[in-house]
Chain A
Amino acid sequence: MQLIKPDINVNFVGWRNKAFLLSGTIILVGLITLFARGGLRMGVDFAGGMLVQVKFDKPTDSAHIRQALHGIVANAFVQQIGSEKDHEYLIRTDTVHEELKSLSVEIANALTKAYGPGQQVLRVEMVGPKVGHDLRQKALQAIFYAFLFIALYISWRFEPKVSSGLTMLAIVGIGIYALNGLDLNAEYMIGGALIVTLALCWFLRLPYALGALLSLVHDILITVGIFALFNKEFTLEVFAALLTLSGYSLNDTIIVYDRIRENRNKDKKQSFGEMINAAINQTLSRTVLTSATVFFVILMLFLLGGTVIHDFCFAMLIGVITGSYSSVFVASPILIAYEDLRKKKSPGAKRAEIASGGARNAGAGREVKIIKEREGKQVQPAVAPEAQIPAEPANGAADRAETIDAPAVNGAAEERKPEAKPPARKPKKQKKQSPRLAGARKSGA
């Protein structure tokens, strides 16, 4: 049985701007909601407070429960959970007694007074404000370290330069150590560290790590944004789901990256964008199937797994969807966007970046094609699904460009090691002419 045809060829890469816009909109809406609400609705584990889950033996409602608790807890938040017939309610309050006289007992007593005996306290959770604060800080740190280690692993596995990855680790490590001494707010510190890490990915030319990290940030932001939109409680379990997601949502990205890594040494005639789009299409059945299986499992847990893990599963469900989406529409196109930006910044330096793996073996054809793609795009932006991405420029121009560029690149391809080692400095010099030349040809043609 096959759900996705093997010869499927959808122009995902061509949709990337629309996809960026869509992602940007969702993230923005999420962030605006987040700020409008003044942050996430933190669960007791993060905010401090008390949570009591009570099962009543007869139907009641939130208002009655609040009334029964009047005078014991101020601002009790009462919510029915599970199915209607269970009469199960969550009572949440910000009041915390650190003394030994437990508030939960007072609550239970008050309920007994109002309803008679027969209700059961199923669960009590009490967290002091200090612990909640500590946990928030620790959670932010944990998610940052997860990001950092994942970025390192990705750059080790996908980039030819391990040294850059290590440099990044060293800089970020020293930075965090120094910042720790300053005793800053963890929110700012981690935000800063993340930005530094992303910037380092850019400057150290680690596009795969950059793509993976950005798609991770994308997935997390969307999940958090949706939690803000639905005003759902952000608990330790939800946080665990986020962290799990940051590992899992990368699976699909890695499937595509892996194919890009494989393909970049193969077909010399393809442009970079084409190559990436081909990689996405070739792995599409995998991306869809693997996500579908996991999605199904979590959906079952969400529907049948009981109230305790409900929010955990909700976060995972969103995350699995965004994880697959981001691997196709964020992580991979970012490689192209990176390429474009790099070229704008320092014309001709692209070989040291993404194409490097390919350039080491591929040589002239790839080099020129990338230029062609860029030129082509300005003329004719590809939108239609089945359209080929790069518009072919005049044949003559391409041929001539190829012949002109060939000697320099061939030379480089033969001496692989010196080419790969000094990062970007030398190749830049060599290639400085190529766009100009190509441009000249084009105008000439």
Chain B
Amino acid sequence: MRAGIILVFLIAGIFCLLPTFVSSSLPGLSTVLPGKIHLGLDLQGGMHLVLEVETNKAIENTADSLAEEIKDALRTKKIGFTEVARTGGWNIEAVLPSNAQVNDFNEALKTGFPMLETTSEQTGAQGTKILLAMSPQELHNLRTRSVQQAIETIRNRIDQFGVREPDIRLAGTDRIMIELPGVKDSQQAISLIGKTAVLEFKLVAQNVTQSQIEDHRLPPGVKLFPMRSSDATSPPSMVALEDKTVLTGDHITDARVEIGGGNSYGQASISLNFDRQGAKMFERITGDNVGRKLAIVLDGVVYSDPVIKDRIPDGRAVIEGAYSDEDAKVLAIALRTGRLPAPVKILEQSTVGPSLGHDSIKDGVMASAIAGLGIVLFMIVYYRMSGVVADLALVMNLILILALMAAVGATLTLPGIAGIALTIGIAVDANVLIYERIREELRFGKTPRAAIDTGYERATITIMDANVTSAIAALVLYEFGTGPVKGFAVTLFFGLAANMFTAIFVTRVIFDYLLTERRVKELSI
């Protein structure tokens, strides 16, 4: 009966381990079999990133666009206003010529912008100033939404970039944890993930002289933007653009890398397709401004400013610039998957090269194997036959640890390997406790049967107490730890759990078998 339980556990254990070790050779079985043990980033190489979404920026952007929308609404409703703009943080200040328009203004606000609340209203010489604020609930929603959107966008980008089994998830309120196993070019991955990818089309300002640019004496509505240059050492040249954005990247349906197209021979360029509305806007812009220069601005940097030769009706545009093929690929993905709702900051990055991971596995497994072998030999030398019994339990313990890990799809990290080795040490501790107790009882003149009974009974309490304290530490560590450390906590915890079973139960069954079935009279201990 008890032997049956052990057999069931063993078979279940081996069953769980099948996918890990036999891997893809049994395609039919993969649907039935449980998950397999994943290798941590520190073992297979890869990149771990923690990003912070600057949600404040997202709110500022929203406030900016709300101000624009309010202006549009006031214009269509023919309500006069002096200025509507975002002010300090993310409040919106509307200035009306006098308080005669206040009622109309409030009416328009109530119907079109229920998320805004009036916080103050004062009439002075310059007219009536009305301060508007978003409700705390609205702010909170904006923050969560921008983080969610960022996660979605980043996930899309990584999917298109082609990473096997990426792990992207929310960590805390505004942080995103990203694990990319096997990524070789970490810099490229970072620039793809973190590219805000805000694409804007702006007209190049006319009648602005070079000296005006140098002296920063610009007419109203004109701003300077840096021009992208391939040479990072010299300061970028500046271009004066009209501040008003005529078209944004929100209307892009597709972005593709083209090599050798257009004027730039052998250089990659990116062709854009607009949706129907975008195409119409593009057609109008190009039609109205033939002969002028249209700048393509990405994340605040001018990529190119071609002259509009003719009206473009087909909703296609090309971004040219000095790209490498890889840069172009990254940029195309970023444009295709849309912009991030807010810029992101890297809080934490760790990259492990595949060769270090490989060495780590080799060293870790080698050290563990030597340690394990030493322990196994020691037990046999010190406790003879009983040592062999303990070693059998040890082997089963190892199988169970790995099986448990496979069953829950846990990740094996380098500290995790150390944890398994440590478990080997702790596992025989349990048997040492039992055996020393049995020896003690034998010295008191007890029969083997009685000595084993007392030995197990007493030692079990000690082992349980000792293992529980270790398990508490492992659980706290799991709660607290990140990445590799978590992997360590997992193996340690599973090791302790399996240990309670193998070192106490399994060895007991073997002893009982030896005593009852084999009628062993003398304990070899």
Interface residues of A (CB under 8 A from B): 1-3, 6, 53, 55, 97-100, 102, 104-105, 120-128, 130-131, 138-139, 141-143, 145-146, 149-150, 153-154, 157, 236-237, 239-240, 243-248, 250-251, 254-255, 258, 262, 282, 285-286, 289-290, 293-298, 300-301, 303-306, 308-309, 312-313, 316
Contact = CB atoms under 8 A, between A and B. Distances in A.
A125 B363 CA distance: 21
Chain B interface mostly: helix
Nearest to B461: A258
B472 A142 contact: no
B521 interface: no
Given A142-B476, A258-B462, A244 B492 contact: yes
B375 A131 contact: no
Contacts of B421: 297-298, 300-301
Contact of B477 (A99, A244, A258): A244
A104 B470 contact: no
A250 B465 CA distance: 9
Contact of A300 (B374, B383, B476): B374
Interface stretch (B58-66, B160-168, B253-261, B343-351): B343-351
Given A105-B187, A254-B469, A305-B364, A294 B356 contact: no
Interface in B402-455: 414-415, 418, 421-422, 424-426, 428-429, 432-433, 436, 439-440, 443
Interface stretch (B218-226, B237-245, B271-279, B478-486): B478-486
A300 B365 CA distance: 11
B363 A306 contact: yes
Contacts of B429: 251, 289-290, 293-294
B469 A251 contact: yes
Nearest to A236: B485
Contacts of B385: none
Given A100-B194, A123-B356, A300 B367 contact: yes
A369 B69 CA distance: 90
B191 interface: yes
Interface centre among A3, A105, A304, A309 (most CB of B within 10 A): A309
13 contacts: A1-B381, A1-B382, A2-B439, A99-B345, A150-B472, A237-B415, A244-B422, A248-B426, A282-B440, A297-B372, A300-B367, A305-B367, A308-B356
B363 A305 contact: yes
Contacts of B480: 138-139, 141-142, 243
Given A105-B187, A146-B472, A126 B465 contact: no
Contacts of A255: 433, 462, 466
A323 B348 CA distance: 34
A301 B469 contact: no
B148 interface: no
Nearest to B488: A240
B473 A248 contact: yes
Given A102-B187, A293-B428, A308-B360, A120 B355 contact: yes
Given A6-B443, A254-B462, A254-B469, 4 more contacts: A100-B195, A128-B347, A243-B477, A286-B436
Contact of B356 (A53, A128, A150): A53
Nearest to A132: B348
Interface centre among A1, A146, A154, A285 (most CB of B within 10 A): A146
Contacts of A142: 476-477, 479-480
Given A237-B484, A243-B477, A258-B461, A120 B418 contact: no
Contacts of B520: none
Contacts of A298: 421-422, 425
Interface of B: 42, 50, 186-187, 190-191, 194-195, 345-353, 355-356, 359-360, 363-364, 366-368, 370-372, 374-375, 378, 381-384, 414-415, 418, 421-422, 424-426, 428-429, 432-433, 436, 439-440, 443, 458, 461-462, 465-466, 468-474, 476-477, 479-482, 484-485, 488-489, 492
B360 A297 contact: no
Contact of B360 (A130, A145, A289, A306): A306
Contact of B348 (A131, A248, A258, A295): A131
Contact of B436 (A98, A154, A285, A303): A285
B374 A296 contact: yes
B327 to A, nearest CB: 13
Contacts of A153: 465, 468-469, 472
B76 to A, nearest CB: 40
A401 B440 CA distance: 35
Given A121-B353, A126-B349, A304 B367 contact: yes
Contact of B364 (A149, A282, A295, A306): A306
Contacts of A99: 345-346
Nearest to A105: B187
A264 to B, nearest CB: 15
Nearest to B187: A105
Contacts of B186: 102, 104, 124
Contact of B432 (A120, A246, A286): A286
A126 B348 contact: yes
Interface centre among B348, B359, B426 (most CB of A within 10 A): B348
B418 A305 contact: yes
Contact of B473 (A2, A104, A247): A247
A6 B439 contact: yes
A51 to B, nearest CB: 8
B50 A293 contact: no
Contacts of A313: 418
B113 to A, nearest CB: 34
Contacts of B461: 258
Contacts of B432: 286, 289-290, 293
A122 B350 CA distance: 11
B469 A247 contact: yes
**Which of B349, B381, B424 has its CB near the most chain A CB atoms (within 10 A)?**
B349
A290 B431 CA distance: 9
A138 B481 CA distance: 9
A130 B484 CA distance: 20
B473 A304 contact: no
B345 to A, nearest CB: 5
Contacts of B366: 304
A289 B436 contact: yes
Q: Which 3 A-B pairs have the closest CB atoms?
A: A247-B473, A306-B363, A247-B470
